[in-house]
Amino acid sequence: MNKSDIYQQVADKIVKMMETMGTNWVKPWADLNQPINLVSGKPYRGLNVLFLNMSGYSDATWATYKQWLSKGYQVQRKEDVGGGTGITFYKPIKIKDKVSGKDKMIPFLKPYTVFNAAQVADENGKSYTTQRAAPLSESERSAKADAFIENTGASINHAGDVACYVPSIDLINMPKYAAFKNAAAYYGTMFHELAHWTGAKQRLNRLDSGTYAWEELVAELSAAMTCAALGIESVPREDHAKYLNAWIARIKDDPKALVRAITKAKQASEYLETLQEESDDAMLIAA
């Protein structure tokens, strides 16, 4: 079976899955280094992440003095564990303008002091330890897929908690490999961003030709196609279909959009394939 047949087969399977799967897409990586709140379980955002990561504590969990008490933990003496770390809570609130009488939004900022899990202990003197998933083993990596990615020549940065392609600087950012739930999730996400990368003006010039929802559909279809062609997944993952289903609902008013998206997805995957051929040619010349 040639690559074109594989791409079409994957597209057909995904379309069928989209008809039956739900829309709850879950990102396939964990927040390994993202500071989180003890009570809400939600990650801190913005400058608070910088403040907390600069504190020097390795545990990811933070909470106010009262929040720790509510969970049965006591903040230890300052001279033993150091003081708290200041953060800021931001929320836009609506007020009525005194001059115009119209409603307007203003930023509401409130400072808080939080303490790390390493600074507290329960009644038995036991500290709190955040339970984290074990980092993904390097043994699960695919040498074939890694070589494929390298041969594209794309600029790729591994840092933070965001997977994205930034056209203005022609850069892909990815969470680190260890943060992903499995190797297939890492490569699926990587090939999604590489598909966006192919759409840049200096390549296939696709990014400005449709809506955001349509481009996401193209990228996710292409990711599934490329994964299948490399033998990473025998069938498209269910979370591919869930993710796509969420986007297809936004373009349902255009019945031809899906056909166009499949065509563009094939072009994106085929473009990445041509870069492999160029890399092989360059090696032959160098030899």
**What would the pLDDT profile of 188-198 be if each residue is shown by its tens digit?**
999 999 999 99
Provide the token pair at 15.
């379309």
Tens-place pLDDT, residues 251-272: 666 767 778 888 999 999 999 9
pLDDT of residue 45: 79
pLDDT at residue 24 in the model: 67
Query: Of the candidates 248, 267, 222, 264, which has an alpha carbon nearest to the alpha carbon of residue 17?
Result: 248
The pLDDT of residue 283 is above 50: no
pLDDT at res. 22:
63
Contacts of 257 (CB under 8 A, 6+ apart): 210, 214, 217, 251
CA-CA distance, 161 to 178, in Å (whole number)?
12
Model pLDDT, residue 164: 93
pLDDT digits (tens, 9 = 90+) for 15-60: 777 767 666 677 787 766 678 899 988 888 777 887 888 888 888 8
The pLDDT value given to residue 280: 57
More confident residue, 187 or 137: 187
More confident residue, 104 or 229: 229
- What percent of the chain shows pLDDT beyond 90? 38
More confident residue, 139 or 245: 139
Q: What is the pLDDT of residues 63-111, one digit of tens each?
A: 999 999 999 999 999 998 999 998 888 777 778 877 887 887 777 778 8
191, with CB counted inside 10 A (0-12, 13-18, 19+), is buried
Q: What is the mean pLDDT of the chain?
A: 84
Query: SS3 for 258?
Result: helix
